[in-house]
Amino acid sequence: MITLITGKPGDGKTLYACREIIRILRNTDYYVVTDVPFVMGRLHEYVNDWKGDVVDLDERLKVLTPEDAHNYWRYRSGGLLLDESPDAKGKDDGTRRLPKMEFDLWARSQFERIGEKSEYQRGVFYVIDEAHEKFPAREWQNIGRITTYHASKHRHLHDEVWLLTQSPDFLDKTLRNLVSETRITRNNLRRNVGPFKLRGVFKVRHYYGMPNPSVTPFSVEEMQLDAAGIASCYKTVGAFGVHVKAEKIQNKGKLPWWSLWAIAGGGILAAIFLCFMVPQWAIAGLGKSISDAGQPLTQTVQDKTASQTEQSLAYMRGPLAGAGQSQGAEPGAVEAAKPEKIVRGCIVLDGETLVSGSWFEGWRKVTWGSKGALVGTDVVPLSVLTSAGVYPPRPTKK
């Protein structure tokens, strides 16, 4: 598969590729060919600094010069070196180029050499840095046919090709059309959102083919800057702002990345608080307004009820308290009784059944009940009567 790794200078393209190279060396038997300028001594220490088999970098890794990188396909496992393309020998003075049929026969004969020995048949993982400089459109006439031939056959050879570039548009269109996947790297340490710095990680977004700006990545991964590990295994120019010496990254953000989450969390809590409390405050305020508006009316009703109760009590303290007469009893045959001595009977008062006893005082009927007394149309609670010293009368037998 041909994979395009792209991003702006300093966005971690080479770091990401080197991490993959080290993973390939550790976990697979691929032969690796690249023009990334590794520091071989440091790379050997880093790759073999774990439990397991020791990786023989002399047998597994080939580091090319930038001048040889455009002929990357020539370098195979086991030390096999294929012949240079006849197109590279073409001159501007009109030197004859091989016709397509002859060229295809020549290319096929070269790759058939891989079957001569078993050590030649190992798949190759190619990583070409600054690919837009090795495969520009203006040079495609000299390097394009053999590159296209290998790209069309690389899966049969079990090869993988990674092309690193900051300018995909500078690659020849024929090569861009062969790309199966694009991965875009981004260094968040250089970026900020307003006054907030972004978290210092590298993000890699995966796309199928050559994506347009509206396409959503099918996968996103993160990686940390391992300055003491992977990043120390190769020399870099331009990546991470490093030229001769490390460049101090200037980030305009004044606040750390985590403060953005803290402020966002505080805003969410404040919104939840307001959503629950403001309606309650509004309802409480409305209820108080209604209560204040109805207070004069309530007070008037209470005053009227108290006045009627007082009148009833005055009546009860009068001739009724001591001179009441029970129904069917002789005058003077009534004595005071405690509430539990109430004469049992039954009447209905405003739809409520009251256990009661009753008698007449002249034309006015007085009804005693377990809840109080009905004097005419006024209901006087029993507790009010007893607190005033008025108790229900009880008829006595003749």
What ranges do the domains of the chain cover? 2-253, 256-288, 308-398
Q: Which residues of 190-200 are buried (b: 16+ CB within 10 A; e: fewer)?
A: bebeeebbbee
CATH topology of domain 2-253: Rossmann fold (3.40.50)
> Which residues, in sequence order, are bridge partners of residue 259?
none
The stretches of the chain forming alpha helices (DSSP H) are 13-27, 40-47, 57-60, 100-111, 131-134, 140-153, 173-176, 257-315, 321-323, 382-387
* Token pair recorded at residue 197: 């710095």
Task: Return the amino acid letter for 52.
Answer: G
pTM over 0.95: no
Residues 6 or more apart whose Cβ sits within 8 Å of residue 362: none
Name the packing angle between helices 100-111 and 140-153 (round to 10°): 50
What pLDDT does 7 receive?
A: 92
* Token pair recorded at residue 274: 């307001």
What pLDDT does 327 receive?
A: 45
Element (H, E) at 294: helix 257-315
Residue 10 near residue 187 (C-beta atoms within 8 A): yes
Residue 13 near residue 231 (C-beta atoms within 8 A): no
**Interatomic CA distance for residues 168 and 138, integer angstroms:** 14
CB neighbourhood size of 215 (10 A): 13
Write out the chain's pLDDT in tens, 398 residues: 899 999 988 888 999 999 999 999 988 999 999 999 999 888 888 887 765 667 888 899 999 999 899 899 999 999 999 999 888 766 555 566 789 899 999 999 999 999 999 999 999 999 999 998 888 877 777 788 899 999 988 889 999 999 999 989 888 888 899 999 999 998 877 665 555 566 668 889 999 999 988 899 999 998 877 767 888 888 875 544 444 443 444 444 454 544 555 666 777 877 777 777 777 766 766 556 655 655 565 555 555 555 655 555 555 545 444 434 444 444 443 343 333 333 333 333 333 434 445 544 444 455 655 555 555 555 556 565 566 555 555 444 43
Residue 15 near residue 240 (C-beta atoms within 8 A): yes
Count of alpha carbons within 13 Å of 366, Cβ hemisphere only?
24
What pLDDT does 135 receive?
A: 87
* Token pair recorded at residue 35: 């023009």
Q: Specify the length of the chain in residues.
A: 398
